[in-house]
Chains A and B, each alone.
Chain A
Amino acid sequence: MKYETNIGLEAHLQLSTKSKAFCSCSTEFGNAPNTQACPVCLGLPGSLPVLNREVPASAIKVALALNCTIADRMKFDRKNYYYPDLPKNFQISQYDKPLARNGFLEIQAEKVVKKIRIKRVHLEEDAGKLFHKEGYSLIDYNRAGTPLLEIVTEPDISSPEEAYTYLTFLKSLLRYLDVSDCNMEEGSLRCDANISLKKKEASGLGIKTELKNMNSFKGVRNALDYEVKRQSAILEEGAEIIQETRLWDADKGLTTSMRSKEEAHDYRYFPEPDLTPFVIDKEVSERIKTDIPELPRAREVRFVSQYHIPEYDASVLTQEKKTADFFEKAVEIYNNPKTISNWIMSDISAVLNERGISIDKVRLSAANLAKMARMLDEGAISTKIAKAILIDMIDKGEAPDVLVREKGLSQISDAGELEGMIALVLKENEKTVKDYKSGKKNALTFLVGQVMKASRGKANPKMVNEILKSKLK
């Protein structure tokens, strides 16, 4: 393609503090409308905001993890605009002195590592939610006043796919920090984008379009994909892009113009007089810094070098902190990283993904997974048995050895017992034995299968193989 794409993303993250940013109402999601609303978050006349001290702590944690410089002072501004979900018709936000600036997030896709620069990180309050009915609208203010962190990148992202990768890495980082649920469906992580195209040889940036109303990471990617096509077509015709804000329509798969540059809001920002600015204590920032755990990228690199697992495994295992913690705990108990990684990435993940939950939400313990891996390596159980007991390990939290005993599933590795079974199978399948001896090597697989069937899956397959081969010589 002869055009270069420049994308910047604005992520809005709901901080999962217990109470709202400027009052003591709960931030819990999903309760009956307007049950978490007080005079302050309803913006009733005479009410005043008071900053919840949990909020700057969480925000500083994120900013530090994004390698930002933290401002010396915390200062809030008012962003003035009228909308029925905004009870005061202004939003408490940060304008000219954001909480933090000049950071970066390292991302990796297909072996390519790239730093996406973070322009600014600032705090603001969320609005309520509107429900449009036939001829009227309803407002739920439960969300109004929930703390939001806006994370704005420089236009460093060069493709819709890279935007998707950035969001995946950002989400992973944020979940490590334990500051937000990052749930796009519940709206705890939202994202707007701006995109511009220019000829490869042209300097500077092209005319940008802002995109809103994307409800998932895929939506962000699809909207950007659409825009790349739309804007290339315009440029191809020799026409100019109009600077505007466009809305993504996920159902129709296209964007439509919302407002042009001329219609843009004048937010009339000015310092919030009800919240006195205060100095951000350097010591406090330092203390928060020590609270930051090892972050996903660093952990991924360490997993490869420490456990000698493939990069792919390391990146999957470290995406969620809880998964990575689980893996490390299991490996510490029984040192076979690859077997443990395989089980986490395949069978266990399949169950978790199907249920849409994380590994800490099931009863499977790292110790039991480690024990299962040891039993496999020692030949006490077959892969088949392991698969059979896994679901009970996950749901009941039972130990693998207990399950094997209860279900009578322990592997038969006694050569004498196996020989007896094999003799019987050979007798019943004389034709197959003849086939094998005449050169049909795959007849062996059939005979192994017959022995396994006779043992109801408990025979040690490796031993069966060896004994059969020697008997058939």
Chain B
Amino acid sequence: MLLFLARRSLWSSRITLVLLVVSVAAGAGFQIGNSANLDGFEHALLEENLTHGAGDIRVEPTDGPRFREGIEMAARLAAVDGVRAAQPVLIYAGAIGRRGRFHATPLVGVDRSALPPFQIVEGAWTPSDPDALLIGTHYASRLELAVGDRVEVRAIFGAAGMAVDDDNVGRYTMTVRALVGGTLAYRAVFVSRTWLAAESGEPNAASAIHVHLFDHERARPLAAELAQGVPGITAIGWREDASYVSSYISATRTIVSVSYAMVIAAVAVPMWALLYIHVLRRRRELAMLLAIGFAERDVFAISLLQAIFVSIVGCVVGAGIGLGLIVYFQANPIYEWGTMAVRPMLAMGVFVGPAIVMVLTALVAGSYPAWRAARTDPARVLKGVE
């Protein structure tokens, strides 16, 4: 009955109803789009820097530049609870060149993996092919290289190896099989780890193990556990290893909080004002309800129900607006560079969070007008004094 009265009263003042709904819808729609984009930014950062980067934990030997038995170490780490994959990488200083022009670059050996530290932009990866070279987009651009081109590669092995000359530099001519991108990859060159390790004389060597986890937030505690539990290693979680990523994510979450605060203020004030004006315009009706036997709490509830009703309707409309924004920004990302594109995340949480906040905002904004409605003096109003 109270809901019936609340709805009918609102419907009798359609302009007020529309303005209230639009106010909530605009707030909800904006926040949904905003949250989705910021979630997408966080996702893109993690994908770019962790999933297609150095993983959640970077494990390196405490003694020396490499694990002699890197494959075995990777297998041991892969068996740890919570670890999704452990990728051994072998890194030597190197250079690539063409027509006499060389650029210094890390030469990174990677074996076949579901989580390589790069994203293929063009071409295909054939890890078992010793002639295959994957080149970062930066060098491809500088050296004007395309897939299929032949390129000179130099690897500085340091200690004496099997197939190197007297100055411990390996000299190779290899074929570009793919162009790759990624925060770490666009200025690097990738080859088969197996081949590179063989060339260096240490077939099982790995400079580091990139450990990927199912839950990114477990990196710090797990890194501490590994450092303590596995002798001869240092283990660094991504928040410490790539502090800029951690800072970006903290900043993103702060922006989400700030935007929520702004939306709450932007919705609460007009809601409060419109509902208050609605109460003032209905004083005679409210006085009459009190006079015929409705209690003050009934009148309070009717007004508060109106606030909740418009917030729910507004959230539904806002969800449509937010979905439209998400679809638009998925097709037109707000940021795109190399392999990193920020596209909004389409997830339930992106809709539920703003909806809950809008309903709570309505409850708070509607409380004073509801209280004011319940305080209507029927005697004065019905006499025409007010």
A binds B: no
